[in-house]
Amino acid sequence: MRFIVLRHQEEEGLGTIAEWLEKNGHAHFYVNLHARQRPPANALMAYDGMIAMGGPMSVNDDSWIMNTSLALVRDFVEGLRPTLGVCLGAQAISKVAGGLITAGEFELGFDVVAPVREHDFFRSGKLDTNAWDVFQWHGETFTLPTGAAPLFSGARVAQQGFTYKNALALQFHSELSFEWYTMWYESLRHKFENMERLVAPTPAMPFAALKKNLFALLDVWQSRW
């Protein structure tokens, strides 16, 4: 399958998601919205699925980058194509499906989220039903659209993930490797305010757990296409 990838900020690429795509025989192609690269007019014909990554903007912004991104996310979600949203991308899925995105508690750093064990994904027996290590970086939160099934919850920010039709929305980042986190630490902590909680990378950080759980989740998601 061919996936179009919406990149809203240069530093927020696929991370380990690229490894999962390659492992499963999928191709991916970036549209660098942060550089005002225009997506193809026939995206739904050219690509089988979409991945919308994170970014520092709000899905409520009336800007070229968000209007372009939301239009594409809406096309793929309503077209029942596999659509993965990470952080900003998850909020975009909520918005186009009728959810609301509002200011929430600012979360930054490694944390845990709780799986919603009643969800079909977790009833499959293929996913860890204990708390998941994740990396958080967001200041807004979403409501669940009508018809969405909650997938993860958090202690401070309740909504952390859901499925909707063929879409998978994750508020948190599990795509970080040691290398990607190091790049974020070196390039982003001086770029934004309130970054004092972004601590220096160490091999003890739970990158292996992030990757293991993410790949298992994407495998289950893929089996539902």
Per-residue pLDDT of the chain (225 residues), as tens digits, is: 999 999 999 999 999 999 999 999 999 999 999 999 999 989 999 999 999 999 999 999 999 999 999 999 999 999 999 999 999 999 999 999 999 999 999 999 999 999 999 999 999 999 999 999 999 999 999 999 999 999 999 999 999 999 999 999 999 999 999 999 999 999 888 888 888 889 999 989 999 999 999 999 999 999 999
**What pLDDT sits at residue 194?**
82
Q: Which CATH number, 3.40.309.10, 3.40.50.880, 3.60.9.10, 1.10.287.3510, labels domain 2-223?
A: 3.40.50.880
Q: Which among 79, 82, 55 is positioned nearest to 69, based on CA atoms?
A: 55
**What pLDDT sits at residue 195?**
84
Per-domain boundaries in the chain: 2-223
Q: Which among 161, 106, 116, 115 is positioned nearest to 136, based on CA atoms?
A: 106
Rounded CA gap, 136 and 156, in Å? 11
**What pLDDT sits at residue 224?**
95
**What pLDDT sits at residue 65?**
98
**What pLDDT sits at residue 145?**
97
Kindly report whether the global pTM for this prediction surpasses the value 0.95: yes
Rounded CA gap, 152 and 81, in Å? 22
Contact between residue 149 and residue 103 where contact means Cβ atoms under 8 Å apart: no
Rounded CA gap, 123 and 173, in Å? 23
Q: What is the pLDDT of residues 50-99, one digit of tens each?
A: 999 999 999 999 999 999 999 999 999 999 999 999 999 999 999 999 99
